[in-house]
């Protein structure tokens, strides 16, 4: 049984490696024909920003955790803005050049294009590995047992393991800032509004279908029309009512969002306004993602420190004891994975959102 499993795993790994090689070859050919000057430089910029951000390790740990996180985020925004802005300016000058360049520069342009194509794949795989490997190492015991002798005990892995989660975080944040800038203020605002409207519509739909007695009759009417188990019929009746209210509310709010979009979308064609709007939206996207990371870290910290168990004290948790212990174990492992790299550790320790969870 074990030998068959190993053979199957080796065959699967061979297929994956072969597919990656074919994909890398396709990216090389794409880069050669596309040329470096016309390709996106984000993979290079992610790597550059990642190495620059290592200097934040020198920020004193004696600072208040939240203040230290704020300083690191400010440094990240400044560095990212400079690197991305320099890339845009250089490529603009390269594409604006009308005189033919010499043969050496043409060859270098295509060679760098091929390298950029492969680097893009490497950055994606590195970001995925930067998230998956620390989680497997700290939070998933079966994966840790399997990969321990193969990978985790390897000296090379041990030398880079302290930066893996940071690479994932930085790659994600740089991509977010870049996307925010290129999306621009108009489309970016519409995207944010649609997300807020969707969440708000869902919450309001639940309130109208369940919490308003005058409107609860619609849910009951749907339930009475369904034959069979009464509990299931009531649940389905409420779900149908919630869905109807959600569609109605979200449709109205979406029309309002599109009206705002139509009013401001032409502003992005004015270059100075477009640049300012892009910068503003990049900062907003960055702030939203950092808030999401902080919220997730605060939740993990709360569960790992026994917050869930504390909330359930005084209730009948006998049947939930095993589930709660498992949640605490995995939350502790995820917390260790997050804290395994300097930047992600700063977010974990400095999150101001811990106050949202009951002590």
Dihedral pair phi/psi, residue 225, rounded to 5°: -80, -10
- Asked if 226 and 233 touch (Cβ cutoff 8 Å), the reply is yes
Q: Is residue 251 part of a domain?
A: yes
Residue 13 pLDDT more than 90?
no
Residue 104 pLDDT more than 60?
yes
Distance CA 212, CA 210 (A): 6
Both structure tokens of 229: 């188990």
pLDDT (average), residues 111-120: 88
Both structure tokens of 259: 């009206």
Q: How many helices (H) and strands (E) does the chain have?
A: 13, 0
Residue 152 or residue 317, greater confidence: 152
pLDDT band at residue 17 using 50, 70 and 90 as cut-offs: confident
Residue 19 pLDDT more than 60?
yes
Q: Is residue 325 part of a domain?
A: yes
pLDDT at site 22: 82
- Asked if 285 and 180 touch (Cβ cutoff 8 Å), the reply is yes
Distance CA 23, CA 13 (A): 15
Dihedral pair phi/psi, residue 35, rounded to 5°: 80, 145
- With CA atoms as reference, report the closest residue to 173 among 46, 334, 338: 46
Distance CA 180, CA 333 (A): 32
Secondary structure class of 306 (helix, strand, coil)? coil
Both structure tokens of 309: 């168990």
Q: Is residue 114 part of a domain?
A: yes
Q: Is residue 278 part of a domain?
A: yes
Residue 87 or residue 358, greater confidence: 87
Q: Is residue 7 part of a domain?
A: no
Residue 328 pLDDT more than 70?
yes
Q: Is residue 10 part of a domain?
A: no
Q: Is residue 4 part of a domain?
A: no
The domain tally of the chain equals: 1
The boundaries of the domain holding residue 295 are: 15-356
Residue 8 pLDDT more than 60?
no
- Alpha helices by DSSP H, the chain: 2-34, 42-52, 65-96, 103-139, 141-147, 155-160, 164-206, 213-224, 230-264, 271-304, 307-311, 321-338, 342-350
Q: Is residue 32 part of a domain?
A: yes
């Amino acid at each position: 049984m074990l030998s068959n499993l190993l053979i199957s795993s080796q065959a699967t790994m061979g297929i994956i490696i072969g597919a990656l090689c074919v994909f890398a070859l396709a990216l090389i050919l794409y880069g050669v024909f596309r040329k470096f000057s016309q390709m996106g430089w984000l993979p290079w910029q992610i790597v550059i920003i990642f190495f620059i951000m290592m200097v934040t390790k020198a920020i004193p740990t004696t600072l208040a955790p939240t203040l230290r996180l704020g300083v690191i985020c400010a440094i990240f925004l400044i560095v990212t803005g400079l690197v991305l802005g320099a890339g845009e300016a250089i490529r603009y000058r390269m594409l604006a050049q009308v005189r033919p360049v010499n043969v050496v520069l043409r060859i270098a342009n295509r060679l760098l294009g091929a390298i950029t194509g492969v680097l893009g794949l490497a950055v994606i795989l590195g970001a995925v590995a930067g998230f998956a490997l620390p989680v497997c190492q700290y939070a998933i015991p079966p994966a840790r047992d399997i990969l321990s002798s193969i990978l985790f005990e390897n000296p090379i892995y041990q030398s880079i393991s302290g930066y893996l989660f940071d690479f994932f975080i930085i790659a994600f944040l740089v991509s977010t800032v870049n996307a925010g800038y290129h999306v621009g203020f108009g489309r970016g605002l519409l995207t944010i509004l649609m997300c807020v409207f969707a969440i708000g519509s869902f919450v309001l739909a639940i309130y109208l279908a369940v919490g308003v007695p005058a409107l609860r009759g619609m849910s009951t009417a749907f339930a009475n029309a369904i034959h069979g188990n009464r509990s299931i019929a009531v649940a389905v009746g409420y779900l149908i009512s919630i869905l109807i209210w959600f569609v109605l509310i979200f449709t109205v709010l979406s029309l309002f969002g599109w009206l705002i979009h139509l009013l401001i979308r032409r502003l992005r064609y004015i270059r100075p306004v477009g640049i300012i709007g892009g910068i503003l939206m990049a900062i907003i996207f960055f702030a939203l993602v950092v808030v999401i990371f902080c919220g997730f870290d605060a939740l993990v910290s709360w569960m790992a420190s026994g917050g869930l168990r504390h909330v359930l004290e005084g209730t009948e948790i006998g049947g939930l004891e095993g589930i709660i212990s498992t949640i605490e174990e995995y939350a502790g492992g995820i917390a260790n994975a997050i804290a395994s790299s300097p930047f992600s550790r700063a977010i974990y320790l400095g999150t101001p959102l811990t106050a949202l969870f009951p002590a």
